[in-house]
Copies of this chain bind each other. A is one copy, B any other.
Amino acid sequence: MTKKEERDAKLPPKSNFSEWYHELLRSAEIVDVRYPVKGMSVWYPFGFALRSHVYQIIKELLDVDHYETQFPLLIPETEFMKEAEHIKGFEDEVYWVTHGGRDPLDIKLALRPTSETAIYPMLKLWIRSHADLPLRIYQIVNTFRYETKHTRPLIRLREITSFKEAHTAHATWEEAAMQVEIAIQRYIEFYRRLAIPCLVSKRPSWDKFPGADYSIALDVIMPDGRTLQVGTAHLLGTNFAKTYEITYEDEHGEQRYVNQTCYGISERCIAALIAVHGDDKGLVLPWRVAPVQVVIVPIIFGEREPIIEVCRSIASTLAGRNIRVRLDDGDERPGAKFYKWEMRGVPVRIEIGPRDIKNGVVTIVRRDGVRKTLPMDERLVDAILIEAEELQTVLYNRAKEFMDSKIKLVSSLDEARSQVQSGVARVPWCGSVECGHALEDQIGANLLGEPRGDELPPMRCLVCGRESTGSTYMARQY
């Protein structure tokens, strides 16, 4: 933004979440929503750098046993329409290219809302024998949804600019199911590195991915208590394989359908990162993904040049250790600089004034407010890296505490209705579709699905009264 706009930026308190979020995207220069198409926005350089660091983590986690590829954006209508369940799930929100130049196209082209129908015709060609399995690929691409609902930057978009979608093929259903587990574990680890705890649940049958046997999802509880789905993994079984005729020859020479999975994460991970950690002063970024990890602010009293010289020397030492450091030696007052870099979530600020130099120390202020004096010698870099680790722990624990405080086991519909106003209700549920729909209707919230790995003692389903150990998370969803 221009210098003037920067001065004018006023961040509302985070308790006013929606306004805080929108203003922060602008003040911290994440995305510019003024692009002249609704639901499509521009990544500012700072936001783009943040996004790159975040996606680098996903890539690292996947590159262990996945290959990165890229498939075309445009999908011929003929391929797109093949899988009946799938198309039902997407046909109302697909953008169609109908003209090239001034001529109508013979076959309309869909802008991918997700790439199953672009990728699977190729997997049919790529997979022949059991030796080609398992096959694990992913791509990070832009996808499109003609959203008719209210759009929201990074959360509900018409152009999802950075959809990481993985697609795998396996010999058996069991191996595919195991891959879904692995995917979920990787995603949990991904969010852990962003210091974000997640809820994991198996989506109810009526909310699974169109064409899947089942779907597992990760949700983050946002500051206002609503949940944001930030990752999903789907067991596709042989549903798409049958449609696209993806078969392999097994050890005995027989042709079999492959079993598939797919799993995805979008820039909602950036939305979660901003929403979970940010505070009244702006972004709070984990060290690993901060575009600027350390900012050095000289505190000038008396002669300027000797202080700047020390700052430069420290900046160069940090840069030599691959720390993303910025020396802010501009003309603004230190207070204005603090404000600006706090807004951008810089994890560690170093202040250096004449007294610090005299004492051979630097003053550091972590973005969570912790203030320390560190030695200005060869121990400095390691000391800063320890602060970065500590900040990470603080952020995760704070986020976990918040999440836990927002989940409540309820024992009546009234209690559930009240709980979902500001958080997530864990609702005793027999597991039947009828009772599930009834819960959604009567509580006025969405059923996220069964929590995993944490069973309750038998309780009565809030609808039918049958006793069951089952339960579901319910929440108002973004």
Interface residues of A (CB under 8 A from B): 1-4, 32, 34-37, 40-45, 48-49, 52, 67-76, 78-79, 91-102, 109, 111, 118, 121-122, 125-129, 131-132, 137, 142, 144, 146, 148, 159, 161
- Closest-by-CB residue of B relative to A96 is B99
- Closest-by-CB residue of B relative to A44 is B69
* Cβ A97 vs Cβ B100 within 8 A: no
* Cβ A122 vs Cβ B71 within 8 A: no
* Complex alpha-carbon distance, A429 and B185, angstroms: 67
Q: CB-CB < 8 A to A52: which residues of B?
A: 68
Best-buried of A42, A79, A137 by chain B (most CB within 10 Å): A42
Known: A3-B132, A48-B70; 5 extra A-B contacts, CB below 8 A, are A4-B128, A32-B125, A42-B122, A72-B161, A73-B144
Closest 7 CB pairs of A and B: A100-B146, A45-B67, A40-B72, A2-B128, A43-B70, A96-B99, A92-B101
Distance between A449 CB and nearest chain B CB, rounded to angstroms = 27
* Complex alpha-carbon distance, A93 and B126, angstroms: 32
Distance between A64 CB and nearest chain B CB, rounded to angstroms = 14
Given contacts A45-B137, A71-B42, A159-B73, contact A98 B101 (CB under 8 A): no
- Closest-by-CB residue of B relative to A99 is B96
Q: CB-CB < 8 A to A127: which residues of B?
A: 2
* Complex alpha-carbon distance, A146 and B92, angstroms: 26
Q: CB-CB < 8 A to A95: which residues of B?
A: 74, 97, 99-100, 109
A-B pairs with beta carbons under 8 Å apart, 18 shown:
A2-B127, A2-B132, A3-B129, A4-B129, A35-B118, A35-B121, A37-B76, A42-B71, A42-B122, A48-B68, A48-B70, A72-B159, A73-B73, A74-B144, A96-B100, A97-B97, A97-B111, A101-B146
* Complex alpha-carbon distance, A258 and B300, angstroms: 36
Distance between A31 CB and nearest chain B CB, rounded to angstroms = 9
> Pick the contact of A72 from B35, B92, B148 — CB < 8 Å?
B35
* Cβ A109 vs Cβ B37 within 8 A: yes
Q: CB-CB < 8 A to A2: which residues of B?
A: 126-129, 132
* Cβ A131 vs Cβ B100 within 8 A: no
Best-buried of A72, A132, A161 by chain B (most CB within 10 Å): A72
- Closest-by-CB residue of B relative to A1 is B126
* Cβ B98 vs Cβ A96 within 8 A: yes
Distance between A26 CB and nearest chain B CB, rounded to angstroms = 11
* Complex alpha-carbon distance, A69 and B162, angstroms: 13
* Complex alpha-carbon distance, A37 and B74, angstroms: 8
* Cβ A36 vs Cβ B69 within 8 A: no
* Cβ B34 vs Cβ A125 within 8 A: yes
Q: CB-CB < 8 A to A73: which residues of B?
A: 73, 142, 144, 159
- Closest-by-CB residue of B relative to A109 is B37
Distance between A473 CB and nearest chain B CB, rounded to angstroms = 30
Q: CB-CB < 8 A to A131: which residues of B?
A: 3
* Cβ B93 vs Cβ A96 within 8 A: no
Q: CB-CB < 8 A to A76: which residues of B?
A: 36-37
* Cβ A74 vs Cβ B32 within 8 A: no
